[in-house]
Amino acid sequence: MNPTESALPAACGKISERQQNNTHSLRIEDSPQRARESFKLRRNFLVLILIIIMLAGCAGRVKKIPLPPSQPLSLVESSYLDFADDLDIESLDLAIERSIHYYEGSGQDNVYLLAGRRVGAARLKESLLKFRQIIQEDSSLADKKKRISQDFDVYRASGQDGYGSVLFTGYYVPLLAGSRTRTEKYKYPLYKPPPDLIAKKNSRSDPYYSRKEIDAGGILQGKNLEIAWVADPVELFFLHIQGSGEIRLEDNTVLTVSALQTNGRPYRSVPGYLLEKGIISGRDASNRNIKRFLKEKDEKNLYEILGYNERYIFFKCVEKPTGSLGEPVTAGRTIATDPEIFPAGALAFIRLRKPVFDREGNLTSQRISFSRFVLNQDKGAAIKGPGRVDLFCGFGEAANSEASSLKENGELYFLIKKQ
């Protein structure tokens, strides 16, 4: 028990023995009337002092009430949200259209639970159509924000701590150099799913091959599973982490690939492993520094480190990088969350800070606050629970720099049209 809590009732509910004796002596020595008046004055003064003590003691123990663990989303008052958006409306409209396409196709029968309320795909689609109508109207920005507040219920994510604090990170689409045939330069393969993968991965007693068995052991070589070969095994590993990427072939055509299946083994963070073992320090834990560290290793040591993450990704060729909904992702507008918790494809609003770069593209120590509307269109192996969001930052090196530098606590809200 809290010592303050155990001591407070005694202070609030008792008068000391000495005070009792003094009060008793007053009643004997003074006249009855004067004794009663004196007693009342002393009692009132004592009560006042005790109230002050009680309030001072209790004020230090006031705590926020966290959201119930079973409620990752909670309906909130939205008047304090200004619904400011730092990006162009064209990218928002494109992302909305992609979620609508999902609700009209493979996601049309989905039903989600939001703060105890069952919400189907049809209602989520209606929400997107209503929202798009508002943002496309010929009205002032203030009027649009007012309409959003009036027409939508807003649900806040409980976050990592139950108080709404959500950890945001970033991801991007990398560009690798590669070839459709194996050469001395391009010798690290991307595989499509093996035919025996589904049957084997469903057997807990006989799991599918690990990353180490595939990369270092070459267990899948010679089975005609290669989509392409790339020059850098470290960049290939990070392509596995990102889930989608582009490969510029020797004839300058670009091959776009996206994750299709995994080997069913657990995802484990290699940067986390390096930090835990003291191999790298916290100040060196950026993606750029980790890549530099890994590229200095010979192939044997490299595969030993990368093998810590047993999960292996198998790819497919696509027209554009796609998220977990099977729809293309939109730079700055697509987020990845835990699909077991948050509604796929839904409209959301985020508030956090982002890194600032100088004119040469170098990261500065400055962070600026921003907010924007996003669509929940992806998932990630490390994105679990109500307190994690991955923001898709785009394509190429600039997006890589932003994604690698983004690690901020912020807020996540979902918007559903009122009935």
Q: DSSP of 165-232, one letter per residue? A: BEEEEEEEE-EEEEESS--SS--EEEEPPPTTHHHHHT-TTSPPPPHHHHHTT-TTTTSS-EEEEES-
pLDDT reported for residue 65:
40
Yes or no: say if 290 and 296 are a contact pair by the CB < 8 Å rule: no
Yes or no: say if 402 and 364 are a contact pair by the CB < 8 Å rule: no
The one-letter amino acid at 162: G
Judged by average pLDDT, the poorest of 21-35, 161-175, 238-252 is: 21-35
> Is the pLDDT at 71 greater than 50, yes or no?
yes
Tokens of 290: 């980790």
Element (H, E) at 370: strand 363-378
pLDDT reported for residue 13:
34
Q: Is the pTM of this model over 0.85?
A: no
Name the band, by pLDDT with cuts 50, 70 and 90, for residue 4.
very low
Q: What is the mean pLDDT of residues 1-13?
A: 34
How many helices (H) and strands (E) are present in the chain, helices listed first? 13, 16
What is the tens place of the pLDDT at every residue in 308-330? 999 999 999 999 999 999 999 99
CATH 2.40.240.50 fits 188-317, yes or no: yes
Percent of the chain with pLDDT over 90: 68
Element (H, E) at 291: helix 287-295
Counting Cβ atoms within 10 Å, is residue 240 exposed (0-12), middle (13-18) or buried (19+)? buried
Q: Give 46-50 contacts, CB < 8 A, sequence gap 24+.
A: 46/15, 46/19, 50/11, 50/12
Question: Does 188-317 match 73-171+323-417 at the fold level?
Answer: no
Element (H, E) at 335: strand 334-336
> Is the pLDDT at 29 greater than 50, yes or no?
no
Phi first, then psi, for residue 343 (nearest 5°) are -70, 125
Three-state secondary structure call for residue 33: helix
Name the band, by pLDDT with cuts 50, 70 and 90, for residue 144.
very high
What is the tens place of the pLDDT at every residue in 200-259? 555 555 789 999 999 999 999 999 999 999 999 999 999 999 899 999 999 999 999 999
Choose between 323 and 7: higher pLDDT: 323
**Rounded (5°) CA angle 337-343-64:** 70
pLDDT reported for residue 37:
56
Name the band, by pLDDT with cuts 50, 70 and 90, for residue 34.
low
Q: CA 364, CA 361: separation in Å to the nearest integer?
A: 9
CATH classification for the domain delimited by 73-171+323-417, as one of 2.60.200.20, 3.40.50.261, 2.40.40.10, 3.40.190.10: 2.40.40.10
Q: What is the mean pLDDT of residues 343-352?
A: 98
Q: What is the mean pLDDT of residues 24-47?
A: 48
Percent of the chain with pLDDT over 70: 81
pLDDT reported for residue 82:
93
Domain ranges of the chain: 3-59, 73-171+323-417, 188-317
pLDDT reported for residue 26:
32
Dmax (CA) for the chain in angstroms is: 112
Between helix 299-306 and helix 233-242 the angle, nearest 10°, is: 20
The whole-chain average pLDDT of the chain stands at 85
